[in-house]
Chain A
């Protein structure tokens, strides 16, 4: 820290906030998620980047408090009953995850003839996942309440619990520690820890709420916030004093308040602090990426980072499958927890302090951890793209088409249904294809049969009998898919007549290019509505009908005229202005009774004129 405290602090704050404000929105806009934005911002301003911030350790420790607050907030969301329901995933999945990871890493280390202590400590670090990153990811994916999210959370919770025995183990294996004294210390510490947790639970249950009520009744919001922060910090200090994780204490405090009437208020008040500190934490992680060290042994660092991530991925996926998750859920679960967590920093630094391995090794391992953290946002990005692809592009799977019919209707939504009903009622039931199984099931209840399949796929078209069909009706909602299908069929099956629904002018022009007949989706409906409006305005219904009909004729003419000149915006505008004037003239004349209608009337009335005049 600098001698003049305040300016230095403000300066640092400005750098952190500025970097976050610059990097995070950009990262979000690019679809990379906020975590990666923070990490990159950290790398940029860190000692190995622009060097705006020289010292990272303090910040990292301080900002770990963001994780603590996050656990407090998570606790607020979970009532005690629900927590008890999670026993199995917490101890089963979590326990297995930690033990298996440590076991595998140690085995690997021994296989490579490394020191067993180094291998064990590395295993302990690697077993941890980043609560901060994982929870952020789960929240951004909106899967916290889903099976994969719940399991991930349970595993994270166990890792938090496992910190205590792991730290003790660390002291035990440290060179020069007497095994006996080690164990002696353990028992005391464990007793203290258990005692504190009990005190916390009992005290929290009976004291916390009256205090909160008393403070809330003062009506001073900032005091309420101050107390909430004090509570979290206080519990964290108590927990560290007996060697427990701060996060665990905050989590317990949160759970105890989950069913209190102040839950929402606490959430709202703590949320911004949590967000900022968590952001700071990610920045700090970014800063701690030791670029020169990585540059010295880039392949080692990258290889270790990716290797650990891969190892964890496989293990987590298998574990989730073993616990009965669907492969899709298991994949998300594994990806979420695949990075090595912030607690690994603590373990490695503690191990270096205990002279289990040199500082350089700790530095190397820390970089490996940071690298692994970088992978998660990228994984999530890839996962998102993959899921979207899966959703958009249906599999090649399709139902077996029982017979081939002259008419194929693609899409069984609002448009396809009407066409199908119309055709069925005249004894010409079409072959109907849709890629939404729910829609197909729903319509089946009404006695309509449709086949499952993605019409944009040539093989599905073939199976549906496009080669022998007379008509293909494109009634699917996705305008782009419809156009693509039209292009394909137009090219490969020119004998098939295509009828399309065109979303708008742009699509209409595309169909006109191919000389494919189409209707403009909303045009007819809009005209019908307009006709009703005219009637309400006092037009006779036939007059309203004629007016809208004329409007429609005119509009269609305009479209045909704009088609060849559509790329020349100026001409299109000139033409449409001219046409609009024409239309106004026609309809005004009709309105003024100066039109065909009057001419007919006058014509008949004038029939008698010459005769009448000669009378």
Chain B
């Protein structure tokens, strides 16, 4: 049974983002995959909550694809989380709309993996920086999976980018087939780190 994958994509300047465009192009035609471009849908930033909740209900896996802006997601994606994950639907006593649906990030970052560590330029690993998302997923009863990281994007030449895009497509295809990345619990790990999955 194929898993239906919803890719929630947020990039305010998507037309200028070489890497995200390449990644998105690689997956947008895949069967059982829905790409939902938030900035294209809501240029005025007001989100139709009912529409979004219905969309989520139709899918089994949520992928949050975005660049890392100020160690987090772009504002419209945060806005999406703030408004769509409502009490009584996403969390609360009887809320079970999201229960069991995996949550996973696909992130691009300018910095390479080695700048995201203790004592390095950014002091924290990406896993640590993403902890608000991890806890949000946990509160909603969603398995929080190891993200797909594309880092040091300025060093990616065209060939490397195409390779990376193909890897992304394979990664998403695996989600469709139910082969999920490992679940992450940063609270239980002494040294928290992700490996870029290559």
Tell me whether B112 and A542 are in contact (CB under 8 A).
no
Tell me whether B13 and A608 are in contact (CB under 8 A).
no
Tell me whether B110 and A611 are in contact (CB under 8 A).
no
Which chain A residues (601-615) contact chain B, with CB distance < 8 Å? 601, 604-612, 615
On whether A540 and B152 interact (CB within 8 A), knowing A545-B43, A607-B110, the answer reads no
Return chain A residues, CB-CB under 8 Å to B112. 608, 611-612, 615
Which chain B residues (1-58) contact chain A, with CB distance < 8 Å? 12-17, 39-41, 43-44
Shortest A223–chain B CB gap in Å is 72
Tell me whether B39 and A541 are in contact (CB under 8 A).
yes
Q: Select B155's contact among A543, A598, A607, A612, beta carbons within 8 Å.
A: A612
Main secondary structure of the interface of A (DSSP, over half): helix
Shortest B163–chain A CB gap in Å is 19
A44 within 8 A of B: no
Tell me whether A607 and B43 are in contact (CB under 8 A).
no
The total of chain B residues at the interface (CB under 8 A) is 28
Which chain B residues (118-162) contact chain A, with CB distance < 8 Å? 120-122, 151-155
Return chain B residues, CB-CB under 8 Å to A610. 121
Q: Select A540's contact among B39, B44, B111, B155, beta carbons within 8 Å.
A: B39
Return chain B residues, CB-CB under 8 Å to A543. 13, 15
Which chain A residues (570-606) contact chain B, with CB distance < 8 Å? 593, 597-598, 600-601, 604-606
B69 within 8 A of A: yes
Tell me whether B12 and A608 are in contact (CB under 8 A).
no
Residue of B nearest to A538 (CB): B15
Shortest B81–chain A CB gap in Å is 18
Tell me whether B154 and A540 are in contact (CB under 8 A).
no
B68 within 8 A of A: yes
Tell me whether A607 and B12 are in contact (CB under 8 A).
no
Tell me whether B13 and A597 are in contact (CB under 8 A).
yes
Q: Given the complex of chains A and B, what is the CA–CA distance between A609 and B16 in angstroms? A: 19
B167 within 8 A of A: no
Q: Given the complex of chains A and B, what is the CA–CA distance between A600 and B11 in angstroms? A: 11
Q: Given the complex of chains A and B, what is the CA–CA distance between A540 and B40 in angstroms? A: 6
Q: Given the complex of chains A and B, what is the CA–CA distance between A610 and B111 in angstroms? A: 9
On whether A597 and B16 interact (CB within 8 A), knowing A608-B152, A608-B154, the answer reads yes
Return chain B residues, CB-CB under 8 Å to A545. 43-44
Tell me whether B40 and A611 are in contact (CB under 8 A).
no
Tell me whether B16 and A611 are in contact (CB under 8 A).
no
Tell me whether B120 and A611 are in contact (CB under 8 A).
yes
Tell me whether A542 and B12 are in contact (CB under 8 A).
yes
Tell me whether A544 and B43 are in contact (CB under 8 A).
yes
Q: Given the complex of chains A and B, what is the CA–CA distance between A608 and B17 in angstroms? A: 17
Q: Given the complex of chains A and B, what is the CA–CA distance between A606 and B115 in angstroms? A: 12
Q: Given the complex of chains A and B, what is the CA–CA distance between A606 and B13 in angstroms? A: 17
Return chain A residues, CB-CB under 8 Å to B155. 612
On whether A604 and B67 interact (CB within 8 A), knowing A597-B16, A609-B154, A611-B115, the answer reads yes
Return chain B residues, CB-CB under 8 Å to A607. 109-111, 115, 121-122
Write the residues of chain B forming the contact surface with A, with a CB cutoff of 8 angstroms. Answer: 12-17, 39-41, 43-44, 67-69, 109-112, 114-115, 120-122, 151-155
A–B Cβ pairs within 8 angstroms, 17 of them: A539-B15, A540-B14, A542-B39, A542-B43, A543-B15, A546-B43, A600-B12, A600-B69, A604-B67, A607-B115, A607-B122, A608-B109, A608-B111, A608-B112, A611-B121, A612-B112, A612-B115
Write the residues of chain A forming the contact surface with B, with a CB cutoff of 8 angstroms. Answer: 539-546, 593, 597-598, 600-601, 604-612, 615
Q: A545-B43, A608-B121 are in contact. List 7 more A-B contacts (CB 8 A).
A: A542-B40, A601-B67, A608-B115, A608-B151, A608-B154, A611-B114, A612-B115
